[in-house]
Structure 1
Amino acid sequence: MATPLRVLVHGGGIGGLALATALARRGHTVEVAELREQFDALGVGIIQPSNALHVMRELGILDECLAAGYEWEVLTICDTAGNPLAKIPQPRMDEAPANNGIPRPALAQVLGRAATGAGATVRFGTTIAELADDGEGVDVTLSDGHTGRYDLVVGFDGIGSPLRTRLYGDRFRPEYTGFANWRVTVPRQPEVQGVVMSTGNLAAKALLTPITDELMYLGSVVAETEDFRPDPERAHEQLAERLSGFTGPVAEALAAITDPSAVVYSRISQVTVDAPWHVGRVVLAGDAAHASTPHLAQGAAMAVEDALVLAQELDAADTVPAALRAWEDRRRPRAMFVQSLSRAVLKQETGTPTTPEEDELLKVGIPGAAHVLVKPY
């Protein structure tokens, strides 16, 4: 697109800041409305698989991500005692590393510096109060009173997306899967040099993921009732109870947890916007459009891919509507593959009946999916 656009990104998380960086580097005027008061992120760590690192390289921040995290190449499958059962080399996309574990707050800082350094403006503590799309542009009033007219509004505002509700009402509410994710940061054990997945005939699996030279996080997906919340005074003990069948490295990690407030608990929900992801000049991306369970570690990767591909399609198209159609044509099949296989793996691991379509996807499996997702998109 020859004429620079004025773009509002609603949400300054991983996908939103990636898009702000990509567009600002191309000469577009970009504003980000972010409800938080600073570049920060809840949670512990995150895995950046090779396709996500490919995007980081395209944004010019790969080296910063690797310096802030822990690069790794091999997935290790263990039994409940931590005895290795298999070591699976992970594929690479182009010259990007296979994987990088990184603390979420560190990634937020890297992306924030990239976006503002490229020229994007971030309005902290704000959200969209009013929005009107007349087909030629979108008039927006933010909660801080700022007003503007934009060529495009992009909702990278998460699984609970207010922008999705504005567009579709309650049609596409998050669907709780019946499972929750427990995570906590602990000192990295020297033998944990990549993701170590411990599993067995249990109601849970445990993962140890390195995120710096000094730190790793323990994560576990467990069946929980929708109304369950950890006890603030004994969340670490409740996690230990759920993983009591594990010994070895997992037990050592559990023994290192003494502060219940360090435990991060999040219910696992899914969102599928089974309708066009864009309405006029307003578009949903990332978890707002296609939130998945974490079983392929691809949620954030899909968000940054969304961002880069949207910037590419805006480069190539003559109009914003044409770019949005082309973007969705590229993104929907890949995002739905990740979502469908992630959910199928969750069901398989927990003994939940699967559909014939899910059985076909499960033939690909997690290792096969990694090879699919390092192909060009």
Structure 2
Amino acid sequence: MATPLRVLVHGGGIGGLTFAVALARSGHAVEVVELRDELDALGVGIIQPSNALHVMREIGVLDACVAAGFPWEVLTICDPVGNTLAKIPQPQLDGAPHANGIPRPELARILGEAAVAAGVPIRFGTTIEELSDDGSGVDVTLSDGSSSRWDLVVAFDGIGSPLRNRLYGDRFTPEYTGFANWRVTVPRLPEVQGVVISVGRTSTKALLTPITDELMYLAAVTAEEPDFRPDPARAHEQLKERLAAFGGPVAQSLTNVTGPEGIVYSRISQVTVEEPWHVGRVVLAGDAAHASTPNLAQGAAMAVEDALVLVRTLDSEDDVASALAAWEARRRPRAMFVQNLSRALLKEETGSPTTPEEDELLKIGMPGAAHVLVKPY
């Protein structure tokens, strides 16, 4: 667009900060509001596949991500006792590294520093209280009492998106899959040079991901009742009970889990906004629009792709309405491919029944998906 836009970003997570940095570097005025008091990223670590790293390169933080993390090239599949079944080289997108594991707090720090360097204000402890879209702009009142007018409001506010609820009510709420994710940081074993996945004989999967030279995280996907929550005093014992059938590096890593401290438990849910991802000049992106199960490790990658493509589309189209329509037409098929295949893989790995459509997707599989997703986004 010929005139720079004023854009308010609701949510200072990975997608929101990536969008803000790219937007500011493109000459637009942007501000982020974040309900948390600081960028204290929840969780332990995250996988950055090559397409996500390509976005990091585009916003100027690739080197910082690689320096803070652990770059790797080969995915290893093991049986429950630790015997290697397959080693799968990961493809690259336009010269970006194959993949990188990084602690979530480090990624939050890198993106936060990039936002500050780009001149992006971040208001912490703040959220949107009221908004009114008159077709030519959005009047917003924040929880700190301030009011201002924006050309666009973009919600990167996660799977529980308050703005999604404001736009669509309860029509698109998170759907619990019946499975949950346990994660904990442990010392990296020397043999863990990339992600190692072990699938058990029951509906349990274990995953080891290096995130620095010294650290990796252990993740376990287990079937859990909707109302289950780990006992704060014995979460480590409950995790070990669920992984009792595993040997090899999974069992070895569990010897370092001696207490409940640091164990992060989250239910695996997904969201599909089946209506347009924007209402007027208020837009949903990332998990707010299309949260997936973690089986392809593409959730954050889809959010940062959303971010960069939205900036590029805003720059290339003549008006906001045309840009939002073009952006969604480009992004929805890719995001739905990730969501649908991720859910199919979750079912396959845990022995759950699959649909004929999911069986077709499973013919692509995880290796095939990696090659699909390193094509330009």
- TM-score in terms of structure 2 length: 0.99
Contact 1:25 1:119 (8 Å CA) reproduced: no
Cα distance in structure 2, aligned partners of 1:372 and 1:270: 21
The aligned counterpart of 1:29 is 29
- In structure 1, what residue type is equivalent to 2:30? V
Deviation of residue 203 (structure 1)?
2.3
Contact 1:74 1:87 (8 Å CA) reproduced: yes
The aligned counterpart of 2:101 is 101
Q: Cα deviation per residue 1:203-231 (whole Å; 9 max; x = unaligned)?
A: 21111100000000000110000000000
Q: Cα deviation per residue 1:315-337 (whole Å; 9 max; x = unaligned)?
A: 10111111100000000000000
Determine whether 1:254 maps to 2:263.
no
Determine whether 1:319 maps to 2:324.
no
- In structure 2, what residue type is equivalent to 1:256? N
Determine whether 1:292 maps to 2:292.
yes
Q: What secondary structure is seen at the aligned counterpart in 2 of 1:261?
A: coil
- In structure 2, what residue type is equivalent to 1:232? P
Q: Cα deviation per residue 1:274-324 (whole Å; 9 max; x = unaligned)?
A: 000000000000000000000000000000000000000011011111110
In structure 1, runs of 5+ residues without a counterpart are none
Cα distance in structure 2, aligned partners of 1:38 and 1:330: 33
Q: What secondary structure is seen at the aligned counterpart in 2 of 1:262?
A: coil
The aligned counterpart of 1:192 is 192
Q: Percent identity?
A: 77
Deviation of residue 261 (structure 1)?
2.2
Contact 2:70 2:212 (8 Å CA) reproduced: yes
Cα distance in structure 2, aligned partners of 1:141 and 1:259: 44
Determine whether 1:275 maps to 2:307.
no
Cα distance in structure 2, aligned partners of 1:25 and 1:71: 26
Deviation of residue 82 (structure 1)?
1.2
The aligned counterpart of 1:332 is 332
The aligned counterpart of 1:266 is 266
- In structure 2, what residue type is equivalent to 1:190? P
Deviation of residue 83 (structure 1)?
1.5
Contact 2:200 2:246 (8 Å CA) reproduced: no
Q: What secondary structure is seen at the aligned counterpart in 2 of 1:189?
A: coil
Cα distance in structure 2, aligned partners of 1:332 and 1:115: 27
- In structure 2, what residue type is equivalent to 1:366? M
The aligned counterpart of 2:92 is 92
Cα distance in structure 2, aligned partners of 1:171 and 1:76: 39
Question: Structure 2 matches for 1:113-128, cutoff 5 A?
Answer: 113-128=113-128
The aligned counterpart of 2:352 is 352
- In structure 1, what residue type is equivalent to 2:343? R
- In structure 2, what residue type is equivalent to 1:283? V
The aligned counterpart of 2:158 is 158
Cα distance in structure 2, aligned partners of 1:149 and 1:365: 46
Q: Cα deviation per residue 1:106-160 (whole Å; 9 max; x = unaligned)?
A: 0000000111111111000000000000000000000011211000000000000
Residues matched between the structures, number: 377
- In structure 2, what residue type is equivalent to 1:7? V
Cα distance in structure 2, aligned partners of 1:202 and 1:63: 40
Contact 1:101 1:209 (8 Å CA) reproduced: yes
- In structure 2, what residue type is equivalent to 1:110? I
Cα distance in structure 2, aligned partners of 1:325 and 1:331: 10
Which piece of structure 1 moves more, 331-340 or 247-256? 247-256
Q: List structure 1 segments (4+ residues) > 6 angstroms apart after TM superposition.
A: none
- In structure 1, what residue type is equivalent to 2:82? G
Determine whether 1:174 maps to 2:174.
yes
Contact 2:187 2:216 (8 Å CA) reproduced: yes
Cα distance in structure 1, aligned partners of 2:13 and 2:150: 20
Q: What secondary structure is seen at the aligned counterpart in 1 of 2:338?
A: helix
Which piece of structure 1 moves more, 126-135 or 80-89? 80-89
Q: Cα deviation per residue 1:63-111 (whole Å; 9 max; x = unaligned)?
A: 0000010000000111112121111100000100010000000000000
In structure 2, runs of 5+ residues without a counterpart are none
Q: What secondary structure is seen at the aligned counterpart in 2 of 1:180?
A: strand
Deviation of residue 198 (structure 1)?
1.2
The aligned counterpart of 1:143 is 143
Q: What secondary structure is seen at the aligned counterpart in 2 of 1:135?
A: coil
Determine whether 1:51 maps to 2:55.
no
Q: What secondary structure is seen at the aligned counterpart in 2 of 1:97?
A: coil
Deviation of residue 349 (structure 1)?
1.4
Q: Cα deviation per residue 1:6-51 (whole Å; 9 max; x = unaligned)?
A: 0000000000000000000011110101001112201000000000
Cα distance in structure 1, aligned partners of 2:124 and 2:200: 45
Deviation of residue 4 (structure 1)?
0.7
The aligned counterpart of 2:240 is 240
Contact 2:203 2:351 (8 Å CA) reproduced: no
The Cα RMSD (Å) is 0.6
The aligned counterpart of 1:342 is 342
Q: Cα deviation per residue 1:175-220 (whole Å; 9 max; x = unaligned)?
A: 0000000000000000000001112322211111000000000001
Q: What secondary structure is seen at the aligned counterpart in 1 of 2:261?
A: helix
- In structure 1, what residue type is equivalent to 2:173? R
- In structure 1, what residue type is equivalent to 2:253? A
